[in-house]
Structure 1
Amino acid sequence: MPHPVLLNNVEHHDLRILGGHGAHLGDNVMTAVTFPSEFRDVQACYPIVFRKTSDGLGFEPVALFGLEEGHNLFLNGTRWEAAYVPMMVERQPFLIGVNGEELMVNVDLDHPRVSRTEGELVFKPHGGHTEYLERVNALLFAIHQGMQQLPGFLAALLEHELLESFALDVELNDGSQNRLLGFYTINEDRLQALGGEAIARLHQAGYLQPIYLVLASLSNFRLLIDRKNASLA
């Protein structure tokens, strides 16, 4: 279980973070949450789909790395074989904490990237921020800003009934039949049927481009299938 605590330079003066990639560092995951301002980078490498949130009351967009839970097809030993790694992966083991209007940095002390003996130092010897921590702060702020876009974007999709569930049936080279379930995508027929006024409102709100980036990303399912076949060879 995650063990997030408020980062501070007294208790965590010797905290180090392991870099690189690998299953032992928590990278063998099927998905990572993303947001509209990140879609352009994400869609260049991965399918963007939607899933229901853990409380079952809403939706969230995710970058899809594999066809089954706990399997990242872009992870090859200690290499992440894609040009872009989503921010929600890059920020590990740090999280955003919010106290009123103040943003704070939390760290998951139980994350496998956390060390006291090797990796990037988080604080300087006298307690100041290292360049590494400054980069983490910038990354977390970008994530926070991006997540602020999500409620309005998702509300617009639901208002126009643009989300639909889908099933992806895949026959792999070894003859096995596989089905991907539990995800949602943009209903292209409903999108095409929207009137000019609705399209204009989506465009004015900045939501039309992310919608088309989601649709463009679906071509990456072929890449996932190819990588899955390669892993079986």
Structure 2
Amino acid sequence: MANHVLLNNIDHHDLKIITDKSDQYGNNTMYSVVYPFEFKELQADYPIFFHKDNTSNNYTALALFGFDENENLFLQNEKWHASYIPLMIQREPFLIGQQNQIEQGETVNNQVIHLDLDSPRVSKEHGTDIFLPNGGNSEYISKISSILKAIHDSKISTKLFFDTLKEHDLFEAFNLDIQLKDGSNNRLSGFYTINEDKLRALSGDVLTQLNKSGLLMLIYMVIASHANLNAMIQLKDQ
């Protein structure tokens, strides 16, 4: 169970974070939430798909790590074998929070860093220091702060990406049947991808607009990322 608290250099001056990647620290996960501004790096290693919340009709981007629950094919010998690790994985066990503060007589909503004290990554004996001995921020927590800020600042561009795909009805549910060398079958279902037929059918004006906004490049990165499925199937066979 999570125990989120506001990070500060008084209560948490002696805490360290274990940054190793392994099953015991929760990295045996089938997928992670990712953001469109990460697609350029993600598409080199991971298939990118989408999840739909049927209640809100909103979509979320996901990087796929495995075909079964609690499976991460990129995690081998206590190391993550990929050129890029999604930011939602890198930021653990921290998350961004909101705090109202009074500045010059006005209430201002500021972003602050929260820490999950119940995370197995939190330690007093092992890991990377959060704070320097004099109470200042370590290089590590400064990097975490930058990651959290990048995720927070991408809200508008992320919404634009998904709203545009919904506007042009480009989402498509799909199922993928995977047969392994040992004869067993895996079925990947419940995800969404981009309907390439509808993408090709868009008018020249719409495609020009998507290209100018940078969204067309992101769309093609999602499509190109699916080529990584073959490499993942080979890892699964091994």
Q: TM-score, normalised by structure 2?
A: 0.92
Number of the residue aligned with 1:195 = 203
Matched to 1:2, the amino acid is A
Deviations 1:29-85 (A, max 9, x none): 111111111101000000000012485531100110001121101111311111111
- Residue 178 of structure 1 aligns with which residue? 186
Moved more, 163-172 or 97-106: 97-106
% identity of equivalent residues: 44
Query: Runs of 5+ in structure 2 lacking a partner?
Result: 100-107
Report Cα offsets for 1:121-176 as digits up to 9, x if no partner.
Answer: 11122321111111111121122223432111100000000000000001111101
What is the alpha-carbon distance in structure 2 between the residues aligned to residue 226 and residue 95 of structure 1? 34
Residues 11-35 of structure 1: CA deviation (Å, up to 9, x unaligned): 1111110022100111111111111
Name the residue aligned to 2:118.
110
In structure 2, the residue matched to 1:3 is 3
- Partner of 1:51, secondary structure, is strand
- The alignment of Structure 1 onto Structure 2 pairs a total of residues equal to 230
Q: 1:218 aligns with which of 216, 226, 235?
A: 226
Other-structure match for 2:95: 95
- Supply the distance in 2 between the matched residues of 1:59 and 1:66 (Cα, whole angstroms): 20
1:13 & 1:139 partners in 2: Cα distance?
Answer: 21
TM-score (ref. length: structure 1): 0.94
Question: 1:42 maps to what in 2?
Answer: 42
Task: State the match for 2:150 in structure 1.
Answer: 142
2:72 matches 1:72:
yes
RMSD of aligned Cα (Å) = 1.4
Q: How many angstroms does 1:111 deviate by?
A: 1.3
CA distance, structure 2, for counterparts of residue 154 and residue 66 of structure 1:
24
Partners of 2:74 and 2:5 lie apart in 1 by 30
Matching of residues 149-160 of structure 1 within 5 Å: 149-160=157-168
The 8 Å contact of residues 50 and 60 in structure 1, kept in 2 or not, is answered as yes
Query: Cα deviations across residues 79-131 of structure 1 (Å, max 9, x unaligned)?
Result: 11111111111111111112364111111111111112211111122321111
Residue pair 1:65, 1:73 contacting (<8 A) in 2 also: yes
How far residue 177 of structure 1 moved from its aligned partner, in angstroms, is 1.6
Which residue of the partner structure matches residue 14 of structure 1? Answer: 14
